[in-house]
């Protein structure tokens, strides 16, 4: 039995310490033990969001938390802007249309980021915008949007809430919710947070709470006012993902042991290692360096290679598991995840196995070029 070398954008590998934490005997979510754990975790997760606001824990995937952000803050018929740079930005479009919002879609070409200039021009003729939705890290393309700059544009040109999907980057990319002016920030457990799927985390600004209190859209299971009320007592309104919350405590341990700034720097280092390796192998990258994600790299199909056969071969022969492309990029790219429980040594391993597969497919390159380039970035990291 070989281990699966999972280099996906989620789910991602789970540390042994987290697995063991989740294997503890379970106790009631109405017990004093849970209240103590909930309140402790709430404080420990705040630095990852860059906020003084409470963190709400929803027993759901990230998409449900994105839906909660939308349905609680906006009413049917109100105008919203959705910035989409890929498949998961389109999720926000679908959510907003499902609830009857009047959607103004700012669609950016896949592989490009939304800049503050583009957003400013798009917002100029619009008025009475209730919220602007944006994906921070787009895993279908490997783009990290300049969220701090976009937030500045939103607040300088509108009175809209700025609602951000941070599902695939919180814990692996800088986040300063309060300083940047993000009104609702969402993440999920199965990405850089190093947990199995099933838990989402969400934080809400004072501005957004006021809008939520005034919003008349009905919601029951995803009612954030209910989550806020119960959180005051260290609980959730419904049965939470208790074992994942045990694991989240262990995740906090690991990040605190490494140091949050070091965790962010490690992700940036791994991004640079992957990009240097691909360039040395004459393999193209979808995105520019300026907006490249620290948690996932989207790689163009090597010239002359049957991508489907190559990825299948890597998984079967070398147990290396990459993700394929989505939407219009299907068959044209593959995605190299480097988030959460992933380290420079894992990048060197994956690049080495990639090279082995390329040789097996008679791809023309200088053997060892990718590993050497990635190793050089690592050795020059300081």
Fold topology of 5-10+259-379: 3.90.1150
pLDDT score for 3: 82
For 200, residues 6+ apart whose C-beta sits below 8 A from its C-beta are 57, 58, 60, 61, 62, 64, 65, 167, 186, 187, 188, 189
Which residues define the annotated binding site? 335
Among 81, 88, 122, smallest CA distance to 103 is for 81
Strands 320-324 and 333-337: antiparallel
Q: What is the DSSP string of 81-141?
A: EEEESSHHHHHHHHHHHHTT-EEEEEE--TT-PPPHHHHHHHHTT---EEEEEEESEETTT
Known binding-site residue numbers for substrate: 335
Q: What is the Cα–Cα distance from 86 to 325, expressed in whole angstroms?
A: 11
- Rounded to whole angstroms, the Cα distance separating 118 from 222 reads 33
Extents of the domains making up the chain: 5-10+259-379, 16-256
10-residue averages of pLDDT along the chain (382 residues):
87 97 95 96 97 97 96 97 97 96 98 98 97 98 98 98 98 98 98 98 98 91 97 95 97 98 98 98 98 98 95 97 96 98 98 98 96 98 82
Please state, in angstroms and rounded to a whole number, the distance separating the CA atoms of residues 311 and 322: 7
Q: Are 299 and 337 in contact (CB under 8 A)?
A: no
pLDDT of residue 1: 57
At residue 337, the 3 state secondary structure works out as strand
Q: Which CATH architecture has domain 16-256?
A: 3-Layer(aba) Sandwich (3.40)
Tell me the pairing of strands 200-204 and 296-300. unpaired
Tell me what pLDDT residue 150 has: 98
Neighbouring CB atoms inside 10 A of 252's CB total: 18
């Amino acid at each position: 039995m070989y281990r699966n070398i999972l280099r996906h954008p989620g789910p991602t590998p789970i540390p042994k310490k987290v697995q063991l934490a989740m294997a503890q005997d379970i106790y009631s979510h109405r017990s004093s033990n849970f209240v103590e754990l909930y309140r402790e975790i709430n404080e420990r997760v705040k630095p990852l969001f860059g906020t003084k606001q409470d963190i709400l824990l929803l027993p759901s995937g990230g998409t449900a938390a994105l839906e909660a952000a939308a349905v609680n803050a906006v009413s049917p018929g109100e105008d919203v802007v959705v910035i989409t740079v890929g498949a998961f930005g389109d999720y926000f479009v679908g959510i907003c249309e499902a609830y009857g919002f009047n959607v103004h879609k700012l669609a950016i070409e896949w592989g490009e980021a939304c800049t503050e200039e583009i957003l400013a021009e798009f917002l100029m003729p619009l008025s009475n915008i209730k919220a602007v939705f944006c994906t921070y890290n787009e895993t279908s393309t490997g783009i990290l949007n300049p969220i701090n700059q976009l937030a500045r544009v939103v607040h300088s040109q509108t009175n809209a809430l700025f609602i951000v999907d941070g599902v695939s980057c919180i814990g692996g990319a800088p986040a300063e919710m309060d300083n940047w002016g993000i009104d609702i920030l969402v993440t999920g457990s199965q990405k850089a947070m190093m947990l199995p799927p099933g838990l989402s985390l969400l934080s809400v600004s004072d501005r957004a709470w006021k809008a939520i209190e005034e919003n008349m859209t009905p919601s029951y299971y995803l009612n954030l006012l209910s989550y806020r009320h119960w959180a005051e007592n260290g609980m959730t309104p419904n049965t939470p993902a208790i074992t994942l919350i045990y694991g989240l405590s262990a995740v906090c341990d690991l990040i605190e042991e490494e140091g949050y700034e070091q965790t962010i720097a490690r992700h940036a280092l791994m991004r640079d290692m992957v990009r240097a390796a691909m360039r040395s192998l004459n393999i193209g990258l979808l995105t520019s360096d300026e907006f490249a994600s620290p948690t996932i790299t989207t790689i163009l199909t090597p010239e002359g290679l049957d991508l489907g056969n190559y990825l299948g071969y890597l998984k079967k022969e070398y147990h290396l598991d990459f993700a394929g492309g989505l939407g219009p990029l299907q068959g044209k790219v593959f995605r190299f995840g480097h988030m959460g429980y992933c380290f420079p040594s894992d990048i060197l391993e994956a690049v080495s196995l990639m090279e082995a597969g390329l040789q097996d497919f008679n791809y023309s390159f200088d053997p060892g070029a990718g590993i050497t380039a990635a190793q050089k970035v690592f050795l020059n990291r300081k």
